[in-house]
Amino acid sequence: MIIKALFLFVFYFVIWLLLSGHYDPLLLTLGVLSCITCLYVTWKAKFIDEEGLPLHLLIRLPIYTVWLFKEIIKANIDTAKIIILNNPDPQNFRVKSSQKTEAGKVTYANSITLTPGTVTTELDGDVLEVHALSSDMADDVKSGAMDKKVSWLEGNKNV
């Protein structure tokens, strides 16, 4: 748990440095104190655990992010076509997620929502309710490709 706390402190401080843009001694000291305070609050709230800080995802996350960006670009083009041609065919449907952790399920739901033309409207256990702008977009979600990719990100060896 100490290693995760140190990693989280470094993460907090790097973000602070990138966002502040100030590197004089007084502000660096205040930044360190701010990061220590944030780390203390995170520690006391017991958020430093496997699910709250999933370090095992870091190795696969860049590959997943590139894949998701590609999917977002393709969905943007499809959504633009639907809007320009004025031929939406909206659908609500349910799809089952195969992720084992809550973080994996939420990642799957958020990935669907990040992809233009689809929105996750409800997450109830292993079942997601999704709204899609067209039947093709619904079929993309129902195909399970994104579900498998998120399961892979989560470290599921059966994918």
Number of domains in the chain: 2
Please state whether the predicted TM-score (pTM) of the whole model is above 0.75: no
Same domain, 76 and 39: no
77 in any annotated domain: yes
3-state helix, strand, coil in the chain (%, to 5): 60, 10, 25
Helix (H, G, I), strand (E, B) or coil at 60: coil
pLDDT in tens, 52-102: 656 666 788 899 999 999 999 999 999 999 999 998 999 999 999 999 888
50 lies in some domain: no
**Per-residue confidence (pLDDT) for residue 6, from 0 to 100:** 86
Which residue type is seen at 60? R
**Does residue 104 lie within any of the structural domains?**
yes
- Same domain, yes or no, for 77 and 140? yes
Is 146 within a domain?
yes
24-57 pLDDT per residue, tens: 999 999 999 999 999 899 888 877 766 665 666 6
What's the CA gap between 52 and 43, in Å, rounded?
A: 11
Question: How far apart are alpha carbons 53 and 8 in whole angstroms?
Answer: 8
Provide the residue range defining the domain that includes 23: 2-44
Residue 50 phi/psi, 5° resolution? -65, -35
